[in-house]
Amino acid sequence: MFLTTRPAVLFAVVSPRLLSLRPVDIAIIVLYFATVLGIGLYLKRQTRTGDDFFLAGREMTAWIAGLSFLSANLGSLELMGWAAASYQYGILAAHWYWIGAIPAMLFLALVMMPFYYISKTHSVPGYLKLRFGEPARALSAVSFGLMTVLMSGINMYSMALVMKVVLGWDINFSIWVSSLTVAVYVALGGLRSAIFNEVLQFMLIWLGALLIPVLGLIEAGGWHAMSQRIAQNFPGRDYTHLWRTLGSFSDNPMGIHWTGIVLGLGFVISFGYWTTDFLVVQRVLTAKDLRAAKMAPVIGAGFKMMVPFIVILPGLLALAVLPFPLTGEAAALASGGHSYNEVLPLMLARYCGPGLLGLGITALIAGFMSGMAGNVSAFATVWTYDIYRALMRPNARDEHYVSMGRWCTVLGVLVSIATAYLVMHFLSIMDYVQALFSFFIAPLFGTVILGMLWKRATPAGGFWGLLAGTVSSIGMWIWVQLDPAALRYVALSPYAKDMAENMYRALWSWIVCVLVTVAVSLATRPKAEAELHGLVYGLTVIPNKPGLRLYQRPWFWAAIVGAAFLLLNVIFW
């Protein structure tokens, strides 16, 4: 049993370097790097204006925008982070793909996308400027810029970790090679280059990452046999059911109640991320027309439901087949063992030989670079349009802003390198990421949704609500760090793990944001209705494309995706 494995046995089983690359593996990786750089060089000729660089000319089809929309989120956050989380928390991690993604993606498509697209904004902070004014835009732009560079460091750290564990490469070498490659191709082709590379990376990720679940299920003997092995290794703990253990805080590995999953994740964090995080929304804004912009998140949602097969299942397989236990990052560094974050590279080393190893490593590199490029391109847009142009140089020529975007891309990569080492202070990658979401995304969702649905929300209410929500979330995190006993108040249970705390903290910060926004709005003067056309429901005419057949309508496909989502929750109840 894992829990009784002695450290001496662990050190005997695990070596510092798991595998070596053969020439065929190296050739596959080199070909990939050459391809992404070639795409950047080719698209530089088509990137002349600000719309070209920051919004890919607004000419992407629904499929290109939809796959890019999903691929921007399919970086190390998905590949390594959720593999680690599924080892810690079991199939509960799949909630972040189903209830934690699908309803919000469909809501973005059918409800919020028309406002983003009709307003012709370059960013979510740009929408806040139109709706609430410059102070709200500046606050959201600064907080979003901070979040993107912090999250970009995850991708660099993750890639370096894979190279260190699997191949024994120096961690600094891995960070610099991947980050400079991203800096070059995003700086050359802007968002257009990032999108085309993300679609390529999406294909590579599926091609390479499928190796582990397929070969792992064969070894384990199928889903049922894998579940039995996990139950034998961890008696008394249920790692393979989505909902049946959520009636009590103490009955599941995460220490969370269903209210935290449904309200904290399924509503606040999920809707906040998928509808207001400019990293993903930016991809949909590149669509060629409003119908394509609506269809892109629906297409992304359809593929999103299948992603747990390549990111959650490896963590569950590791619970069943690995002969040694994994621990948090700090404990692993102290003991010389392996951490939760190393689940995916350990499984890759277990199943992939020459050729397959090169394909698997290339898939991971593609995922890391996709996530990094998404953060860097979003940071460049928000910095250039919502901070630099708005606050420093508002009347420069368009060419100047394109140049600033290119230099900002390089700067963003350099700053992100410095943040990569912050990840080591958290138990796992996903604990780090969800903490950031609770700080910045949860209150931002409260501000945006009130702005779109309530015409009485005022500029003062939008600013102070966003500020109060952000400060309260960071304050709750500091409170628990200084006094662990505060966990029973923030997460409603002393049994809560870091992930559960993040869910409830996000919920409280959203409630604070909404309450402050409503209170301040009722005490201050709203904008005239004439200023809110195209920004608020009830005051905006949503154009509909006539003559569409049933199967061409976004709501039809959204209904099919929604039905599949409900079916999956029943099957894995």
Which pLDDT does position 211 carry in this prediction?
Answer: 79
Token code pair at residue 215: 């070969």
pLDDT top residue among 489 and 54: 489
Closest by Cα among 423, 432, 424, 428 to 502 = 432
280 pLDDT band, cuts 50/70/90, is confident
CA dist., res. 297 & res. 50, Å (int): 24
> How far out from the chain centre does Cα 10 lie?
33
276 pLDDT band, cuts 50/70/90, is confident
CB burial of residue 486 (10 Å; 0-12, 13-18, 19+): middle
CA dist., res. 557 & res. 549, Å (int): 12
Q: Which residues pair with 287 in a beta bridge?
A: 60
CA dist., res. 561 & res. 550, Å (int): 15
CA dist., res. 571 & res. 36, Å (int): 40
CA dist., res. 82 & res. 205, Å (int): 15
Which pLDDT does position 187 carry in this prediction?
Answer: 66
* Other Cβ atoms within 10 Å of 209 Cβ, number: 28
pTM score of the predicted model = 0.72
CA dist., res. 67 & res. 203, Å (int): 10
Which residues, including other chains, have CB under 8 Å from residue 405's CB and lie 6 or more apart? 50, 53, 54, 190, 380, 381, 384
Which pLDDT does position 329 carry in this prediction?
Answer: 60
Torsion of CA 523, 275, 406, 44, to 10 degrees: -140
pLDDT top residue among 227 and 417: 227
Q: What confidence tens digit (pLDDT) does each residue in 496-549 have?
A: 777 778 888 888 999 999 999 999 999 999 888 888 887 888 777 776 766 778
**Which residue's entry shows tokens 């100047």?**
400
Distances (CA, A) of 564 to 117, 197, 474: 28, 29, 37
5 pLDDT band, cuts 50/70/90, is very low
Query: Hey, where are the domains in the chain?
Result: 24-248+275-423
Provide DSSP, 295-318.
HHHHHHHHHHTTTHHHHTHHHHHH
Please give the single-letter amino acid code of residue 190.
G
CB burial of residue 241 (10 Å; 0-12, 13-18, 19+): middle
Which pLDDT does position 75 carry in this prediction?
Answer: 63
Which residues, including other chains, have CB under 8 Å from residue 133's CB and lie 6 or more apart? 459, 462, 463
Q: What confidence tens digit (pLDDT) does each residue in 316-355 have?
A: 888 888 777 776 666 666 666 677 777 877 787 777 766 6
Is the pLDDT assigned to residue 410 strictly greater than 50? yes
Which residues, including other chains, have CB under 8 Å from residue 61's CB and lie 6 or more apart? 287, 288, 292
462 pLDDT band, cuts 50/70/90, is very high
Q: What's the rounded mean pLDDT across residues 152-158?
A: 70
Least confident residue range of 426-440, 506-520, 553-567: 426-440
Closest by Cα among 387, 506, 509, 516 to 450 = 516
Q: What are phi and psi of 327, to 5 degrees?
A: -135, 180
**Which residue's entry shows tokens 């869910």?**
503
Q: What are phi and psi of 287, to 5 degrees?
A: -65, 150
Half-sphere exposure of 31 (CA within 13 A, CB side): 13
Q: What are phi and psi of 339, to 5 degrees?
A: -100, 170
Which pLDDT does position 194 carry in this prediction?
Answer: 67
Architecture of domain 24-248+275-423: Up-down Bundle (1.20)
Cβ–Cβ < 8 Å for 341, 190: no
